[in-house]
Amino acid sequence: MQVNNDTKTSDVSFETKIKSAKNTLELLINPEITLEKSVKYYKDGIDELSKAQKLLDEAKFEFEEYTK
């Protein structure tokens, strides 16, 4: 993984965040999941999607600045 100097080393790529959210969705569709686990997985999935959206917004901003 290539780390940008402006990015914290703990940050993960957009693609990895989306993959993680998809994996969480797979866990959520299990019909035998407990309510407690489903709430946890839901929160985790929303968190991953939020972080992915932030990365996407940052990339869009960089692209717009570059093309000006």
**Integer Cα distance of 28 and 8 in angstroms:** 30
Cα 33 from chain centre: 22
pLDDT digits (tens, 9 = 90+) for 17-64: 999 999 999 999 999 999 999 999 999 999 999 999 999 999 999 999
Domain spans of the chain?
A: 14-66
Are the CB atoms for 48 and 24 separated by under 8 Å? yes
Q: Is 33 exposed, middle or buried (0-12, 13-18, 19+ CB in 10 A)?
A: middle
User: In terms of pLDDT, which residue wins out, 33 or 5?
Assistant: 33
* Phi, psi angle pair for 24, to nearest 5°: -65, -40
pTM beyond cutoff 0.85: no
